Amino acid sequence: MGRKKSQIPGLFITLEGIEGSGKSTQISHLAQVLIQAGHRILQTREPGGTATAEAIRHILLTASSHEPVAPQTEALLILAARCQHVTHRILPALQQGAVVLCDRFSDSTFAYQGFARGLDLQWLRAANDIATGGLTPDLTLVLDLPVSIGLARRRSDRGEQNRLDRETERFHRKVRRGFLALAAEEPGRMRIVNANRPAQEVQDELTEIVVGWIARQRRRR
Ligand code: TMP
């Protein structure tokens, strides 16, 4: 790890957003479009993506309320999972020239553990750098919609809620504000896409952005 991005031939794209923003459906569709266009794709997710990281995800999402997970424990578990994921899947795929499509990455940590849980952002960024070896996404799409709509969608999509879904609406509003603040800081890398409309319209816009962006990157390299 710790390699300069310019030395890595692949392209690293992440999708971010609050609960119920439709990321998982959209990322699968994007993967299909890109595979059909002849790109080598790794579609993956966080926390997770390797056996060890998926085991950590299970702990994070199902931990019993009898032993509340401290915010620092939560952050460190997420970063441990990320380190496994970057080391064993993301970086090898990028080194082989693949387009990596990842459902959540570092921006989720800054939004959830930083803006919403209140952990210090500088500390989180430094710890995240250790976990990723400095690897950052090349393009990040933030699917944005009001929290009340996202949470209602999530509840109707799947009956069972995980530990983070059960957080208060106020918590999720801080997550949303976090994503919007991060996007405002890095408009070159992060693009906000309005997810409060029919899935087909969101899909069309995402496809247009990603296909055009990949073509420009490939011409440059
Ligand atoms: P998912 O529901 O999109 O699969 O994500 C699982 C949960 O993990 C979701 O509630 C957000 C949370 N999460 C964090 O709190 N911090 C992180 O860095 C990541 C990647 C996910």
What is the Cα–Cα distance from 88 to 92, expressed in whole angstroms? 7
Structure confidence by residue, pLDDT tens digits, 77-113: 999 999 999 999 999 999 999 999 999 999 999 999 9
What is the Cα–Cα distance from 199 to 196, expressed in whole angstroms? 9
Instruction: Kindly provide the b/e burial profile for residues 81-95, where b requires at least 16 CB atoms within 10 angstroms of the residue's own CB.
Output: bbbbbbbebbbebbe
Has residue 2 got a pLDDT over 60?
no
Model confidence, pTM: 0.96
| Residue corresponding to tokens 């031939």 | 9
Q: How far is the CA of 113 from the centre of ligand 1 (A)?
A: 10
Domain boundaries, the chain: 10-220
10-220 to CATH, choices 3.40.50.300, 3.20.20.70, 1.10.10.60, 3.30.70.100: 3.40.50.300
Residue located nearest, by CA, to atom 10 of ligand 1:
164
Structure confidence by residue, pLDDT tens digits, 133-190: 999 999 999 999 999 999 999 888 766 778 888 899 999 999 999 999 999 999 999 9
Query: Cβ(109) to ligand 1 under 6 A?
Result: yes
Query: Cβ(53) to ligand 1 under 6 A?
Result: no
pLDDT of residue 1: 46
Q: How far is the CA of 216 from the centre of ligand 1 (A)?
A: 30
Query: Cβ(112) to ligand 1 under 6 A?
Result: yes
What is the pLDDT of the chain when averaged over all its residues? 94
Structure confidence by residue, pLDDT tens digits, 30-54: 999 999 999 999 999 999 999 999 9
Q: Which residue has the higher pLDDT, 6 or 207?
A: 207
Query: Cβ(26) to ligand 1 under 6 A?
Result: no
pLDDT of residue 154: 86
